[in-house]
């Protein structure tokens, strides 16, 4: 059996994951991670095929890399398979579909313009706290419609959720009380009474009243909006600003031709995938280049590695805003492909457009990476604009 022994969830591997990922890719299409007792797919073709084939690679026993979370907190959309998944996803997706988002485009664009005007006057700012967080925290959290105390805690709950989706190391264990608090919050009568009437969370309960999903599913579906809606977009935005700062020639291209923005966003998510990977469970015995994966085995699908697989991408380490990166896997693929991707792209596009009209350069200070069991990006990103 081909194995890889490193701890992919140790601080140093989280800070510098790509060397590990390349080694795993070169070892073979399916590699056993001995430290985590998990199989791993790190090549593009295998990850994409697994994401598509939910009958063989099931999400219904959880997508975390540890049993504590996989056995305790099932029930949200990402931890189901069709046909149950289809019903839940339809409800969750309703306000996030491209057409449904049209009504909030002006608000997002106006807020992005105001923010960027302020940041340009300020000249130096933190690309995360002052810039990337602004739209998700001011607009998206309002759209979800939790009462104020919930809005104030969304970032903490989200980062804990992603820590707990990795292995059960100290970070994973420290996250558990925060997750329990989030679970309690989503079932608390006071929360449900305080939901904004026209918010996305309230719409889940209305869908249950209309018989589209069982009421018992609603608290878990509320978590679908709390955990992935802020941090992912914030980290993607931060990484894009960092890339523009590091590669000014690419920024020059984008600011002189804003039609490159959608491609630049895909390219940044390819190169610096905010969600490094989730797991699936094999529902039958598989053979992969002579290796047998037993039925019931858990397999880590490394999106961040697939997105740098040299078998798929030419010069995978290069940030190229003109590359066609539409089939990058940073938003997933297949039945669970990110329901929030149109919203995330809308927010990031509005910001980049506003910058493109006003600034020539992003000058970077010394950034600090966030250390999270599942997420990749920056905790702090000093930026000066010119």
Which parts of this chain interact with ligand HEM (CB under 6 A)? 51, 63, 77-78, 89, 92, 96, 224-225, 228-229, 232-233, 236, 269, 274-275, 278, 303, 330-332, 336, 338-341, 343-344
Q: Give the nearest distance from C-beta 362 to ligand HEM in angstroms.
A: 19
Q: DSSP string spanning 301-354?
A: EEHHHHTT-TTTSSSTTS--TTS--TT-STT--GGG--TTHHHHHHHHHHHHHH
Considering the complex, state which of residue 150 and residue 228 has its C-beta at the smaller distance from ligand HEM. Answer: 228
Say how far apart CA 233 and CA 131 lie, in whole Å.
12
DSSP 60: T
Nearer to ligand HEM, 89 or 178 (CB): 89
Classify residue 150 by its DSSP letter: H
Q: With respect to ligand HEM, which residue has the nearer C-beta, 135 or 356?
A: 135
Name the minimum Å distance from CB 132 to ligand HEM.
11
User: Which of 204, 275 has the CB closer to ligand HEM?
Assistant: 275
C-beta nearest to ligand HEM: residue: 340
Separation CA 11–CA 368 (nearest Å): 13
To ligand HEM, the closest distance from the beta carbon of 122 in angstroms equals 25
Minimum distance, C-beta of residue 220 to ligand HEM, in the bound complex (Å):
11
- Do residues 171 and 264 make contact, with C-beta atoms less than 8 angstroms apart? no
Name the minimum Å distance from CB 301 to ligand HEM: 7
Residue 295 C-beta: closest distance to ligand HEM, Å = 20
Question: Is the Cβ of residue 147 or residue 330 nearer to ligand HEM in the bound state?
Answer: 330
Nearer to ligand HEM, 2 or 155 (CB): 155
Q: Is 32 within 8 Å of 60 (Cβ atoms)?
A: no
Query: DSSP string of 317-328?
Result: TS--TTS--TT-
| 362 within 8 A of 244, measured Cβ to Cβ | yes
Strand ranges, E, within the chain: 3-4, 31-33, 38-41, 57-58, 124-126, 277-282, 286-288, 291-293, 298-302, 362-364, 368-369, 378-380, 382-385
Candidates 45, 11, 10, 9; CA nearest to 28 is: 45
Q: What is the distance between the alpha carbons of residues 44 and 29, in angstroms, rounded to a whole number?
A: 9
Where b means 16+ CB within 10 Å and e means fewer, 364-375 reads: beebebbbbbbb
| Rounded distance between C-alpha atoms, residue 325 and residue 331, angstroms | 12
With tokens 């679908």, the residue in question is: 224
Helices (H) and strands (E) in the chain, counts: 19, 13
Q: How far is the CB of 235 from ligand HEM (least distance, A)?
A: 7
51 vs 354 by CB, closer to ligand HEM: 51
Q: Beta strands 38-41 and 298-302: pairing type?
A: parallel
User: Is the CB of 179 or the CB of 339 nearer to ligand HEM?
Assistant: 339
Q: How far is the CB of 158 from ligand HEM (least distance, A)?
A: 10
Q: How far is the CB of 278 from ligand HEM (least distance, A)?
A: 4
* Residue whose CB is less far from ligand HEM, 60 or 120: 60
């Amino acid at each position: 059996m081909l194995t890889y022994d490193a701890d992919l969830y140790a601080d140093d591997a989280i800070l510098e994951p790509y060397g590990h990922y390349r080694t795993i890719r070169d070892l073979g299409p399916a590699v056993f991670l001995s430290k985590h007792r998990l199989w791993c797919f790190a090549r593009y073709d295998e990850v994409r095929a697994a994401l598509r084939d939910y009958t063989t690679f099931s999400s219904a026993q959880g997508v975390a890399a540890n049993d504590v979370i996989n056995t305790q907190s099932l029930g949200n959309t990402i931890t189901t398979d069709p046909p149950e998944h289809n019903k839940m996803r339809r409800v969750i997706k309703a306000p996030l579909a491209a057409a449904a988002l049209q009504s909030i485009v002006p608000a997002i664009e106006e807020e992005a313009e105001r923010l960027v005007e302020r940041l340009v006057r300020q000249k130096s700012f933190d690309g995360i706290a002052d810039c990337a967080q602004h739209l998700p925290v001011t607009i998206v959290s309002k759209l979800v419609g939790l009462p104020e105390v919930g809005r104030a805690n969304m970032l903490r709950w989200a980062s804990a959720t992603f820590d707990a989706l990795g292995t059960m190391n100290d970070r994973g264990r420290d996250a558990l009380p925060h997750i329990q608090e989030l679970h309690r919050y989503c079932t608390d009568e006071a929360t449900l009474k305080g939901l904004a009437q026209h918010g996305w969370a309230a719409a889940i309960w209305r869908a249950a009243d209309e018989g589209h999903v069982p009421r018992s599913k609603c608290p878990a579906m509320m978590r679908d909006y709390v955990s992935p809606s802020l941090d992912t977009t914030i980290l993607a935005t931060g990484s894009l600003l960092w890339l523009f700062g590091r590669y000014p020639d690419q920024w020059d291209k984008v600011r002189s031709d804003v039609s490159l923005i959608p491609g630049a966003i895909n390219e940044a998510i390819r190169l610096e995938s905010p969600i490094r990977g989730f797991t699936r469970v094999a529902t039958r015995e598989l053979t992969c280049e002579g290796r047998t994966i037993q039925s019931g085995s858990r397999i880590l699908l490394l999106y961040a590695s697939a997105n740098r697989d040299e078998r798929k991408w030419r010069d995978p380490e290069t940030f190229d805003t003109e590359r066609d990166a539409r089939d990058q896997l940073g938003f997933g693929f297949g039945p669970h492909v990110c329901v929030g991707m149109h919203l995330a792209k809308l927010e990031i596009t509005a910001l980049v457009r506003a910058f493109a009209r006003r600034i020539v350069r992003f000058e970077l200070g010394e950034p600090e990476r966030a250390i999270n069991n599942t997420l990749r990006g920056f905790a702090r990103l000093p930026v000066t604009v010119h």
